Amino acid sequence: MPNQAPAETREDPAPPNETAGPAIRLSGLRKHFGDVHAVDGVDLDIPPGEFFSMLGPSGSGKTTVLRMIAGFELPTEGTIELDGRDVSALAPFERDVNTVFQDYALFPHMTVQQNVEYGLRVKRVPKQQRRERAIEALKTVRLDDYGSRKPSQLSGGQRQRVALARALVNRPKVLLLDEPLGALDLKLRQAMQLELKQIQRDVGITFVFVTHDQDEALTMSDRIAVFNDGKIEQVGPPEEVYERPASAFVAGFVGTSNLLGGRGAESVIGRPGLFSIRPEKIRIDGELSEPAAVGDTSATGTITDVVYAGATVRYAVALDAGGQLSVVRQNTDGALADGRVRLSWRQEHSFQVPGQ
């Protein structure tokens, strides 16, 4: 469900209709290229109006899933339903979806307005209507004053927004975005993440957003599917995927994670298993300090590495009980010196990785 997060972070003007069927349903989806099992059994429902992200390392099958939804690839096995209708065998233009790619090729000789109108011209939409819809789409992406410019007169972020307008002008039910911010530098990328999320709220259509960047997925999504090797390891809202990873892979891929197992886990946490503890949940103090509260988990160790990152400082600590933990601390009092320390964290922040 897209609206499980605290109410104050969700302001969708039109909350997805709980009784409506999914906008997208993937069932038993597979795609094999010879011996390569690019997509290896994906089942997924995406409700209307959701900002859904597919997150995973390069080669995990995200683009192939997107291309099958768009109709550029046919599944080896399984079905794709859009709005309750099986479209698995339909051509791309027969599907109510549009795609925005990373290498958004705008026509350089056309103005922004003409670029946005282009798809409608191909569909023989009358001129006046074409104009109005393009202006509306440019308003949505906040480029209403740029219609007469050429792409070369725009910044990278503005060009990306033209590409978005070009897709939105078709008023698709579903918009597929394949690493659309990948070509932008970090600052612009972060600004565009917020903009894109706002635009999605404004238009209320279903976004399926592919990225290999975990921060991006955590920032923007209602829900995230974490891909590994052609399969989905976990689907859930950002907090859930981050705080309660369903596998060691998810714990490692989403955020910097500490995994504590073996002797260290038994001794520090008090039971066997593999535990994920986020670096920002751990307090780090001098060796002789008391744990912050009764019942907190606590362990002593030695700092082996200090990474100064401006607002925060990251420590690597070798535990006396065995194992190594990474700790992030706000840079309020400057960095701690190398040496002996006590780590402590609340019991509920040791999350046992299922099945381990």
Task: Match 């990328």 to its residue by tokens.
Answer: 189
- Residue 36 contact, options Mg ion, ligand ADP, none, Cβ 5-8 Å cut-off depending on partner type: ligand ADP
CB of 70 to ligand ADP, least distance (A): 12
The phi-psi region of residue 2 (left if phi > 0; otherwise alpha if psi is between -120 and 50; otherwise beta) is: alpha
Q: Which does 56 bind (CB under 5 to 8 A by kind): Mg ion, ligand ADP, none?
A: ligand ADP
CB atoms within 10 A of CB 261: 17
Is position 64 an interface residue for Mg ion (rule: CB under 5 A)? no
**From candidates 59, 78, 182, 261, binder to ligand ADP by CB under 6 A:** 59
* Distance of closest approach, residue 180 Cβ to Mg ion, in angstroms: 12
Q: How many other C-beta atoms are found inside a 10 Å radius of the C-beta of residue 139? A: 13
Max CA separation in the chain (angstroms)? 78
Q: Is 226 helix (H, G, I), strand (E, B) or coil?
A: strand
**CA 157 vs CA 118, 136, 212: distances in Å:** 20, 19, 19
Query: Considering only CA atoms, which of 276, 278, 284 is closest in space to residue 300?
Result: 284
Work out whether 63 is an interface residue with Mg ion (CB under 5 A): yes
Q: What is the closest distance, in whole angstroms, from the C-beta atom of residue 211 to Mg ion in the complex? A: 9
Give the number of other CB atoms < 10 A from CB of residue 71: 20
**Dihedral, CA of residue 331, residue 334, residue 336 and residue 337, to nearest 10:** 150
* Shortest CB 35 distance to ligand ADP, Å: 9
Rounded Cα gap, residues 329 and 281, in angstroms: 9
Residue 228 binds ligand ADP, judged by CB under 6 A: no
- The answer to whether 211 contacts ligand ADP (rule: CB under 6 A) is no
- What's the sign of the alpha-carbon dihedral 78, 81, 84, 87? negative
Q: Does 60 bind ligand ADP (CB under 6 A)?
A: yes
Is 141 or 217 the residue whose CB approaches ligand ADP more closely? 217
CA–CA separation, 2 and 46 (whole Å): 9
Residue pointed to by tokens 């290229």 = 33
- Using CB under 6 A, pick the residue from 2, 61, 255, 279 that binds ligand ADP: 61
The answer to whether residue 176 forms part of the interface with ligand ADP (CB under 6 A) is: no
Least CB distance to ligand ADP at residue 77 (A): 15
Q: Specify the pairing of strand 77-82 against strand 85-86.
A: antiparallel
With CB under 5 to 8 Å by kind, the binding choice for 90 among Mg ion, ligand ADP, none is: none
Determine the size of the site formed for ligand ADP (CB under 6 A). 11
User: What's the min distance (Å) between Cβ of 228 and ligand ADP?
Assistant: 10
Rounded to the nearest whole angstrom, what is the least distance from the CB of residue 241 to Mg ion in the complex? 19
Say whether residue 72 binds ligand ADP (CB under 6 A): no
Among 56-64, 91-99, 120-128, 288-296, the segment contacting ligand ADP (CB under 6 A): 56-64
Q: Which residues contact ligand ADP by CB under 6 A? A: 33, 36, 38, 56, 58-64
